Amino acid sequence: MTEPLRLGIAGLGTVGAGVVKIVQRQKQLLSARAGRPIEISAVSARSRDKDRGVSLDRYGWEDDPVALAKRADVDVFVELVGGDDGPAKAAVEAAIATGKHVVTANKAMLAHHGQPLAEAAENAGVSLRYEAAVAGGIPVIKALTEGLAGNGISRVMGVMNGTCNYILTRMDDAGLTYEEAFAEADGLGYLEADPELDVGGIDAAHKLSILAAIAFGTRVDFDAVALEGIGAITIEDIRRAGDMGYKIKLLGVAQMTGRGLEQRMSPCLVPDTSPLGQLVGGTNMVVLEGDAVGQVVLRGAGAGEGPTASAVLADVMDIARGVRLPTFGQPAATLAAPKPASAQSPGAYYLRLLLTDKPGALAKVATVLGEAGISIDRMRQYDHPGDLAPVLIVTHKTARPNLDRALGDLPGTGVVTEAPVALRIEEV
């Protein structure tokens, strides 16, 4: 009989418990598809007595994930502890050092330490797999490393944080303020213990930096991601963008340009008729553009017990079948040192201004934009009570330094009464 593949699972939160449930529930299916039994030898978590909705009686127990990683009866160490350093990283390093394959959902660890961990795994002849680390149940890592391996990738973009998409969707469809939608998401348990990881764009930026490394053959460079969260988005922006045919999304974009590798995670406007514009709730979407295949759109649940556990098992199954791939799609030693883009690629922008309603106000704004080399595509002024007039402007494509110059000069016109809002419009 073929020897079983034995798992050691560290971390028994939502995802870890979900993995245990699938292994127990789908025992025959997994064995048939993998060509060998999939079994759990031992587990590790902070509390042994917590009720996780699944029986752990038949498994060995380790209080220390590093001890679990070193056990002789573990072939694959499944790291679901989380955190970019500390016990998670120490346990993964111990597993690799003792010849264990590793499956992880830890995007923070890979974003900060992906290169040395990949080199260590490849030198040890073991796999380091992480489908669950990016976009939950969407098989985007497999898509890049396998399905699109024959393509030169020109751009990767997407909505990679379901919590942010939920908040922006609720602001749009229910007319909630940012603070109200944030509180609702918090009450539903959608936010991380540190909410800034979600609404500050950090979680999504971790994922983007990993995808960029695979797509463009570079080392992971999280520190080079231009990062802006959704905390400054107002219901006014949601409504005004909608009036002009756009939705606001926290959008990650990575592309290789003549200026270097551009990586940015920021609120952007996308056409409301586009797949990204129609994405609602906590769903994720990743768009991949290849020279041979064109545009591929992947949509699905970006978090949660079932989708994330499903992604963990996908990696386990590959290991059981004997599939061995370099961590980032090509040998880690061949990954290029990334050259961060010296400037963002040109783009169109949405500007929201509040002007003093007096003759010549719009002319002064147009003059400042023109002197900065920015031309106006569309402009809309709304009916208003009192002497302050809300004005929306959509620009033609311009370089970001030109926009920054204009934003700096607008207060000097004497007609702009509050800081302008500027959001990039992304072509999708």
- Tell me the CATH number at 289: 3.30.360.10
From the CB of residue 314, how many other CB atoms can be counted at a distance below 10 Å? 17
What mean pLDDT, rounded, does the chain reach?
A: 95
Q: Could you tell me if 91 and 158 lie in one domain?
A: no
Q: Could you tell me if 261 and 391 lie in one domain?
A: no
Q: Could you tell me if 214 and 156 lie in one domain?
A: yes
pLDDT higher than threshold 60 for residue 392: yes
What integer pLDDT is reported at residue 311 of this predicted model? 97
pLDDT higher than threshold 90 for residue 28: yes
Q: What is the mean pLDDT of residues 397-403?
A: 96
Is residue 306 one of the residues assigned to a domain? no
Q: Could you tell me if 157 and 296 lie in one domain?
A: yes
What integer pLDDT is reported at residue 95 of this predicted model? 98
Q: Could you tell me if 159 and 95 lie in one domain?
A: no
Sign of CA dihedral 318, 70, 17, 160: negative
Q: Could you tell me if 147 and 99 lie in one domain?
A: no
Is residue 398 one of the residues assigned to a domain? yes
Q: Answer yes or no: 207 catalytic.
A: yes
Confidence of residue 193 (pLDDT cuts 50, 70, 90): confident
277, 301, 325 - which closes a domain = 301
CB 203 within 8 A of CB 197: yes
273, 301, 329 - which closes a domain = 301
Q: Could you tell me if 180 and 78 lie in one domain?
A: no
Q: Could you tell me if 278 and 352 lie in one domain?
A: no
pLDDT higher than threshold 90 for residue 75: yes
Alpha helices in 102-256 (DSSP H): 107-124, 140-142, 162-174, 178-187, 196-199, 202-216, 235-243
What integer pLDDT is reported at residue 356 of this predicted model? 92
Q: What is the mean pLDDT of residues 116-129?
A: 98
What total of structural domains would you count in the chain? Answer: 3
**How many CA atoms lie less than 13 Å away from 159 in the CB half-sphere?**
36
Is residue 176 one of the residues assigned to a domain? yes
The CATH code of the domain that includes 400 is: 3.30.70.260
Domain span at residue 166?
A: 140-301
Q: How far is CA 372 from CA 2, 377, 397, 408, 420, in A?
A: 70, 15, 12, 10, 16
pLDDT higher than threshold 60 for residue 1: no
Confidence of residue 5 (pLDDT cuts 50, 70, 90): very high
Q: Could you tell me if 150 and 73 lie in one domain?
A: no
Q: Where are the beta strands (DSSP E) in 272-342?
A: 283-290, 294-301
- From first CA to last CA, the distance across the chain in angstroms is 52
Q: Could you tell me if 210 and 61 lie in one domain?
A: no
Pairing of strands 388-395, 348-356: antiparallel
Q: Could you tell me if 88 and 167 lie in one domain?
A: no
CB 64 within 8 A of CB 42: no
Each residue of 211-238: pLDDT tens digit? 999 999 999 999 999 999 999 999 999 9
Task: Give the active site residue among 70, 207, 247, 364.
Answer: 207
Q: What is the mean pLDDT of residues 363-374?
A: 96
Each residue of 317-362: pLDDT tens digit? 999 999 999 999 999 999 999 999 988 999 999 999 999 988 999 9
Is residue 309 one of the residues assigned to a domain? no
